Each structure stands twice: as structure tokens, then as C-alpha cells.
Chains A and B, each alone.
Chain A
Amino acid sequence: MPHGNSIDSDPSSFRKYKQPGQLISTLEEESPNLPPSTHAPVKYGELVILGYNGCLPSGNRGRRRSRFILYKKEVPNGVKPDKRYEISAPRSAQVTKDNEKHTIAYTLSRHQTFIEEYTTDFKTDMFQIGRSTEPIIDFIVMDTVPGAKCQEDTVISESTISRFACRILVDRDPPYNARIYAAGFNSTSNIFLGEKACKWRTEQGMDGLTTNGVLLMRPKGGFQATSTPGVWREVSVCGNVYWLRETRSSPQRGKLVESENNILEDGTLIDLCGASLLWRSASGLRHTPTQELLDQLRKDINRARPQCPIGFNTLVLPRNRNVGRLLSENSKQPYAYLKCGHVHGFHEWNSKDQEGKEERMCPMCREVGPYEPLIMGNEASFCVDSEPPTHAFCPCGHMCSDKTAKYWSQVPLPHGTHAFQAACPFCATPLCGDQGM
């Protein structure tokens, strides 16, 4: 029997498609995050929030964006530990009031506070990340809402991300090592660890964890087609690496991992509890496809003029989701049966029996499964190679290369207080299917 669109059906959380499908709309306009200086800026790397397909639903503007590029600062703004001392509570208020001086205050008791003073470090640049919109935050990160399609979808009542979640210090000289630390300095240049915070004495002084913590995961083999996920760790306020706590905000810290450090490597994931960030180093990004290349790969698929096996109409894989055009028989939007992987145009065969259900029977093979529009995965930084987008994630239908799909389907992302789940990097929807973690 001649089959129009067939597929390799491997039982997993993503599927291969031989024929998906022209440009419907272009990416939303975004204002680039520009380097501080125009002549030969040094790019350290970039942070990309998982769950966005190249842009926030409200667009990428200023410090609120899906992707943040870290450029060398014109004037170094890094800080390094200086003096450490214990003082009585009333005096600590005085010390931390000094905006010029960066301090970390560990409250020992109502009367006693341990202070670690920081001083300017001309060898590093500091970048701060958090939910706060105060100027001290370089990159504002809000909670990711899985599958959010518009700005209204992204509004949540309670955030779990800290206002001053973490800070990254990058060496101003090659190889531009970037180190991450839990907690960021607030607008008065302080970090407070309250009486109840998880904190402890160290050889040098004190260290601690933030309430929901900052977790790190370094993939094995960097960020490329052959990489595999590593183990999640927690980083402390002083940048030491620990095993995970029993639950996310447990008062008991995990065991120290002496053999590991807080240096971000290409592909390292940072979880802020509510949003996960992917670190891509400048050198790693040189091997990543450009947005233009991804669009070329998409056009190549469309140039083959894939056809719906039912309507015999030509299908066109769009760059972006276009809700208005989806539910029409004349639509060029390709749909896929996510269980078997067969691609069709939109049709309503067998939809009456299945009314109210999200699953439908595939006309090609009679496998019953979810039926979803296919959308191009546009965020190039999530791609582990530059191969054509032959696969799609279940259940959201975002398309990417075989290896990119495999990689993300294996990455466990922290979820809730002590669970992990794999998710589509382009929309954060948890993956389903046999291989869906």
C-alpha cells in the first residue's frame, strides 16, 4: 500500500517524521541585548531559559528576555571575599547599611551575626540573576509556565524563584571561567542568611544555602550530539558543590563534593526552582547552528512539498505557532499522531467517536494517540547539532534534530520538591511516552 508519510516509530518520547512542512510568520521582533561597548566586545557566553522558543511570549526586551548574553563589562564589577568577623546584631545593621560595601550576613542568633565583607575584584565581572526588577539584577528570570503561549498564560500567583537568586562571576581574562554562586546581592549590596537558613561554619568562615537552592547539572561530554546528562548538584553561597538535599528546601545540607567545582561548562544547567537556565559558553556556541541555518533546514523540508495523505494538499512546517490557522481543513499546518509519528494535514476523521478526548486514531496505521500540530523548535542554543529537524517532542510537537530530541528526552529537570522529569526545551511541557523519564 503506498504510504504518503511514513516514519520510524521508536517507542519513546519523541518521534521521527519524514515529511513535515513554509514560512507562516516570522519570529517576534526582539531588541537584542547589546554589548556595553561597540568595539570588539568579548562575549563570555549566554544563559537561555528552558521553555521558550526563541522569545518570551511578551517579547525579549531589556533585562526581561528568554536569552541573555554575558559580555565583558567596560569596568570590572566583580567582588571577592575580604574581611570576616562576628559582631553583635545592632552593629551588623550598621555594617550592612553601607551600600558601597558588598557583605554576606549570616545571622547566628538574635544577638550575633557573622559578616563576610567583599571587596572589588578587578579580575572578574559579576552578573546577577533573579526575579527582582531592581537595577542590581542583570537578568530578570520569572517562573516558567509549561506550554504558555501568550503573556496571560505566564502569570502565576506565587513564585518560587528568589528575587536575588544567584550570581555568576566571570574571569576577565581567557579562558573566561564563569563561576556560579547561590544568592545575589540586593540593592544595598547585601546577602542575608537568616537565623533559620541552612548555614554552617567552614575553615574560612561560614557558608550556606538559599531557601530553594541553586542546582547545577553538568552534562558528560559537554554539549554536543554525544553528550549525556550528568548528576544534579547544589551550589552554596560561597560556591562549594554539594549533593542534593533530601528535599528542595530541607534545612539539612547535602554532602560536600570536593572533587567538583562551580565553574560553568558549556551545557551546564542551572535550576532556580521555577526556571531552569542553560549555560552556553562562547566557544561552545561556535558549534551551534545559527537561527538562519535552522530556518534553512525548515525550508528544505518544505521544499520537498510534503503532502497530506488524506487531503493530498501540500503541508508547510511553520516557524511559529499560529493558532488562527490551525483548525481548518484547508490549513497547511502539519499535524502528527504522536504515538505512531504519521504526519497529516488537519482533518476530522474519527473525531466524533473520540469527542472530548485528546486522542485520535491515525488513518495510516489505526494507532490511537495524541494529535498535535508540528512547530519548529527555533531556539538554536538548545540544539546539540545542525542536523535537519526530523523529530518532534511528545506531547507538544516541537521539532528538532534526532540527537537534540534524544538529548533533551534524557535530561531530568528538577520538578517539585524532590522529583525530576524530562521536558521539551522549547516550551517546558513535560514529555510523555515510554522514554519520557
Chain B
Amino acid sequence: MSTSAGLPRRILKETQRLMAEPVAGISAIPAEDNARYFHVEITGPKDSPFEGGIFKLELFLPEEYPMAAPKVRFVTKIYHPNIDKLGRICLDILKDKWSPALQIRTVLLSIQALLSAPNPDDPLANDVAEQWKVNELAAINKVLTVLDMI
């Protein structure tokens, strides 16, 4: 990696391990010009409304990482009560529940789990959450529409 000079050991090791032992359904590849910026793809979890979809995300490790959480955002448009139109994610471990013992891997696993189990009781996108609570089937149909699958 040409841009790895000056990177903390922690980031180097994490990246190496992500490449060597990728998580099923998740790929995270550092950008060629910035070792702190990752192109992420998460496949929609099986038996979830998002099954069959491929979701692109961007993940950035700030200067303070791992003392501060990585910044993660959906690039692919998604209809989800905990993800807003700009792709921002409502997930406690990305905010006040961050701990340096968490890693890129664990963050992406948590996001994958969020796709399996949307939490309309702690919404970021209020309209989506409302729809989810009132008529889950309709909401799921909307998911598929956004995914261009129906």
C-alpha cells in the first residue's frame, strides 16, 4: 500500500486482516490514494427485506481512530427506518456507544445486522419508521421499489 506510511499499526493490521479473512457478505477495500477511506459493499442479508440487494457504503477512519468511531455512510439509496436519505446511519456504536475495542469488521457486522432487523422504535428517517410501524408489508414493498426489484 503506497499510502500506508505513518498509519498506526492498528489500522494496518485491521486492513490486512480484513483482506485475509473477509466476512461473508461484506467487502471493504481501502482506496488507492487514501488508506483511511474504504469502499464497502454489504449484500442484503438472507430472509430480510434487503435480500438480493447490494449496498455500497463509504467508511472513513478519522485521525483519532480507534479512540473515535469510524464515519460510515450508505452510498446506495436505501429505504430503512434507521438510515436517512443522505445515507447516514443511526447506530449507537457509531456514536456514544463507540469503544476502541470495536473494529471496522464489527462495525460492518452491526450494520449488516441492522439490515436484518430494522428498529423503527429508534428512527432516523421518521417517515420510513412510521410506515414501517403502520404497514410493514407496504414498507417492505417500498424497500423493493427503491431497490428496483419490482
A binds B: yes
A363 touches B100 (CB 8 A): yes
A312 touches B100 (CB 8 A): no
Also in contact, A311 and B101, with CB within 8 A (given A2-B106, A349-B67): no
B67 touches A312 (CB 8 A): no
Complex: A366 Cα to B101 Cα, angstroms: 10
Cβ contacts under 8 Å, A347 to chain B: 67, 100
Complex: A313 Cα to B10 Cα, angstroms: 8
CB-defined interface of A160-194 with B at 8 Å, one 1/0 digit per residue?
00000000000000000000000000000000000
Cβ contacts under 8 Å, A311 to chain B: 8-10
Cβ contacts under 8 Å, B10 to chain A: 310-312
A363 touches B99 (CB 8 A): yes
Complex: A312 Cα to B10 Cα, angstroms: 5
| Segment 287-320 of A: residues with Cβ below 8 Å from B | 309-313
Chain B contact-residue range equals: 10 to 19
Q: B-side interface residues toward A, CB under 8 Å?
A: 8-10, 13-14, 66-67, 99-102, 105-106, 109
Cβ contacts under 8 Å, B13 to chain A: 312
Chain A contact-residue range equals: 10 to 19
B9 touches A2 (CB 8 A): no
A349 touches B99 (CB 8 A): yes
Cβ contacts under 8 Å, B66 to chain A: 310
Partner of A366, one of B8, B67, B99, B106: B99
Complex: A312 Cα to B102 Cα, angstroms: 12
Closest B residue to A313 by beta carbon equals: B9
B99 touches A364 (CB 8 A): yes
Instruction: Tell me the minimal C-beta distance from A10 to chain B in angstroms.
Output: 21
Complex: A257 Cα to B9 Cα, angstroms: 65
6 nearest A-B pairs in the assembled complex, by CB-CB distance: A363-B101, A363-B99, A312-B13, A310-B100, A364-B101, A312-B10
Cβ contacts under 8 Å, A2 to chain B: 105-106
Instruction: Tell me the minimal C-beta distance from A336 to chain B in angstroms.
Output: 14
Complex: A312 Cα to B8 Cα, angstroms: 10
A349 touches B100 (CB 8 A): yes
